[in-house]
Structure 1
Amino acid sequence: MNDNEKQWQLDSRSNVFDGFYRLDKVEFKHTLYNGGWTSTIDREMIHRGNVTAVLPYDPKLNAVALVEQFRIGAMNQESPWLWEVIAGMMDKPGEAPEEVAKREALEEAGLELQKLSLIAHYLASPGSTTEEVFIFFAETDLSSAGGVYGLAEENEDILVKVIPADKAIEMLDNRTICNAISIIAMQWFKGYQNAR
């Protein structure tokens, strides 16, 4: 089957739950590689909005800013407090990913970022969610960074630390950093450091 022969059809979509996330039940079909169509496929699809993330780096200190916060999805891990890059939801219509990354850096870490470079843009888990992720890198002054940040109205309690590059890479390698967004950002950063 060539690309022109690839087709799909959405037969139905209904909302099952609408809270912090939205859950839809969808029924669809698609063409098969060997010809013909699938029978109707039933799936649940999560809509949680898109996410931006940013890894702030100070070249003078050779250090990055990372955040630690509680994550309910990690409750079965050694600890639900995870070390991550700064990240947040794209929840304002029309706001560009770069602008969200800058806003989140200010809200979550008190950092004013200027120029951002895109590290990655990908689909988080397209078998079950529509979520897209944008990860950025930003050089900035971290000499006075650190502390506790976050928006009280969003129940955010975020510890910000400036961590030397080699220690941050060690945190990646020993799985102290264990969520996908942060792993992707730090793997990129590891290559960036090796190329310096």
Structure 2
Amino acid sequence: MKTFTRSDVEIVSRESGFSGFYRLDILRLRHRLFDGSWGPELQRELFVRHDAVCVLPYDPWEDSVVLIEQVRIGALDKSERPWMIELVAGLIDKDESPETVAHREAQEEAGIELVSLAPITRYFPSPGGSDELVYLYYGLVDSRGAGGIHGLAEEGEDIRVSVWSREEALAAVENGLIDNAATIIALQWLGLHADRLRREAGERP
């Protein structure tokens, strides 16, 4: 079976359609078809974003997760509840590592310190029209005392932090209360790996 690579796509032209905090590029391109020939020239719009970091803060000693809640404009037209229950997350600025972003956002958005950090996966959330790549992490935390309202006032953030048992969080995925991709992926991963994480954590320091 043939495996295609970046060399099997020809970018004919690329123009800027909009440039602000985000960017929209207009591309004309063609790519090889599965029969080996070249397909027709296509026009596609590409939403150009910073890559993102998402962190699942998990306390293996309490078997609990720290989740945040804030309003999301993308859900306004399609949900009666645009305040989404999410992971700690942030965008990667220039010259920042994903790990640096993870630690910073944990403090800014949730008021917690990550004891350690380990990758879960990387994925493209919407590759049909966006180039965003998400770095998904598991962060070891002490959830005792976590909670309250956090976020940066100068960025208009109003973020509620709460601690959920693993069972409660997985039930919220099952019943649709949690309905965003990063949080669903991370919690399903936790459902598979929590027993191992709890064994590896040992006694609370």
Q: Please, what TM-score do these two structures have when normalized by structure 1?
A: 0.94
**Equivalence for 1:59:** 60
Stretches of structure 2 lacking an aligned partner (at least 5 in a row): 199-205
**Equivalence for 1:147:** 148
Deviation at 1:61, TM superposition (A): 1.5
**Equivalence for 2:132:** 131
Query: 1:1-196 residue pairs with structure 2 within 5 A?
Result: 2-3=2-3, 7-75=8-76, 76-91=78-93, 93-193=94-194
In 2, the alpha carbon distance for the partners of 1:4 and 1:21 equals: 29
Q: Please, what TM-score do these two structures have when normalized by structure 2?
A: 0.90
Equivalent residue letter for 2:174: D
Q: Point out the more displaced range, 5-14 or 122-131.
A: 5-14
Deviation at 1:124, TM superposition (A): 1.6
In 2, the alpha carbon distance for the partners of 1:190 and 1:10 equals: 42
In 1, the alpha carbon distance for the partners of 2:167 and 2:187 equals: 11
In 1, the alpha carbon distance for the partners of 2:114 and 2:148 equals: 17
Please give the secondary structure, in 1, of the residue aligned with 2:90. strand
Kindly report the root-mean-square deviation, in angstroms, between the aligned alpha carbons of the 2 structures: 1.6
Cα contact 2:60–2:194 (8 A) shared by 1: no
Is the alpha carbon distance of 1:4 and 1:52 closer, same or farther for their aligned partners in structure 2, counting shifts above 3 Å?
closer
Is the alpha carbon distance of 1:112 and 1:37 closer, same or farther for their aligned partners in structure 2, counting shifts above 3 Å?
same
Over the matched positions of the two proteins, sequence identity in percent amounts to: 44
Equivalent residue letter for 1:40: E
State the number of aligned residues: 195
Stretches of structure 1 lacking an aligned partner (at least 5 in a row): none
- Structure 1 segments (4+ residues) deviating >3 Å: 3-6, 193-196
Please give the secondary structure, in 1, of the residue aligned with 2:116. coil
